[in-house]
Structure 1
Amino acid sequence: MSRAGIRAVALGAVAVVGLVAGCGQSAGQDGAAGREKSAGHGAAQQVDRAVAGDHSYPLQKSDIPWSGSPSPFNAQVKLADGRRVAMHYLSKKGLFVQDYSPRAKGWSKPAVVYKTTTDACQGITLKAKDGTVAAFGDFGVYCADGEPPTESVAAVATGRLTTWDKHLTKNFDGWEKIAVAAGGKKVTFSGGGETLRWTKAAGFPG
């Protein structure tokens, strides 16, 4: 289902579950206006796994109700070597990640990629290529009113997948696509006429 479709279905499900899963886009809003991008060293932060190498945990799922199936609040991608990465939203807590070890046949302990008390907004997108995994997720203060995200986080991990670089963009409609270059050395996030690039050598800008 497209991201626009997720927004429409989620708004229609408010009366059933009492929560809004998607976000609409304000009519006539200039996507560039009011955009505030994080800068400096805080723009690219790292998330370290608390228990690196321990894969004895079950796969966790989002606790946010969703009337359809599958829920857009859970996402999973498989790497060429058999490993997998799964992400999920937790209500009022943020975006979490786990990675699966085919050797241990289990998942790592859930780790926080982005911590926030803001409501989850839209689904999670994950993409993997040549050992690099990239993802984005969105959060919005007024999703129930059809407003776009207020917090859009992009994240990238490589190697053992125990450390995630992240970049936060505020007051933005959200990223729409991820392109991972051959060799996994560069990732491009795009959406709303904007682009964000991550490189293995330098990470995110800022």
Structure 2
Amino acid sequence: MRRKPVLVVGVVTATFVAGVWVGCAEWPAETPSQVRRTSEGPIELDDGRRVTVGFTEQGLVERHQSAHGGPWSKPKVLHPAPGDAECDPELATYDNTVAVMADWDRGCYGDPAEIAIAAVSDGDLHDWDTHSIENIDGWEWTRFSWSGYRVVFRKGDADGTTELSWRQSIGFTGPDIIAGPDEG
């Protein structure tokens, strides 16, 4: 009859370990040295592929290259509103997950942006999840979970800290205000 307590302890322990594993894999807490960011030119992934994103007459467009010197992919429109080619989006990569933050407006300078665009691709770079929000002046920074399966886009303003979350399993969720102005 000692099997039941051992079995119960085993199940509880396995559940706890699985919960900790999922929590840690999904928690967005990378160290800055592990994440590469750029707003100029292509960004290179760990496996040597390169990605570039920019505004054209077709909208916010992504292209990628499987290896240095290899052919670039055909342009893929991530957001359809044409933009100013001088308004460079910010790209960040961790492992083989790429995150894009772009602010859409009629020009790069002056009034706050009209639309904040977030995009994420993991894997082959042919599939992208995109999310756009009107009347928000862009995302300020991204954070990656150590597994790369979650990316968090954040911005702070007078209303507090706003967060948009992307998970590999479900895509984008939010945005949510996670801290009011008095909560820091």
Q: Please give the range of the TM-score, normalised by the shorter of the 2 chains.
A: 0.5 to 0.7
Q: Which runs of 5+ in 1 are unaligned?
A: 1-71
5 Å matches for 1:21-170? 74-91=40-57, 93-102=58-67, 105-117=70-82, 119=84, 122-141=87-106, 146-170=110-134
- Do residues 204 (structure 1) and 168 (structure 2) align? no
CA contact under 8 A between 1:121 and 1:139: conserved in structure 2? no
- Do residues 178 (structure 1) and 150 (structure 2) align? no
CA contact under 8 A between 2:56 and 2:84: conserved in structure 1? no
CA contact under 8 A between 1:130 and 1:184: conserved in structure 2? yes
CA contact under 8 A between 1:73 and 1:89: conserved in structure 2? no
Aligned length: 133
Distance 1:103 1:139, change over 3 A: closer
Bigger radius of gyration among the two: 2
CA contact under 8 A between 1:124 and 1:137: conserved in structure 2? yes
Distance 1:140 1:201, change over 3 A: same
CA RMSD of aligned residues (A): 2.4
Give, in angstroms, the shift of residue 73 of structure 1: 7.3
What TM-score results when the alignment is normalised by the length of structure 1? Answer: 0.58
CA contact under 8 A between 1:134 and 1:154: conserved in structure 2? yes
Larger proportion of strand: 2
CA contact under 8 A between 1:94 and 1:118: conserved in structure 2? yes
What TM-score results when the alignment is normalised by the length of structure 2? Answer: 0.65
Distance 1:151 1:186, change over 3 A: same
What amino acid is the match of 2:162?
Answer: E
What amino acid is the match of 2:130?
Answer: K
Q: Which runs of 5+ in 2 are unaligned?
A: 1-37, 175-184
**Percent of residue pairs identical:** 35
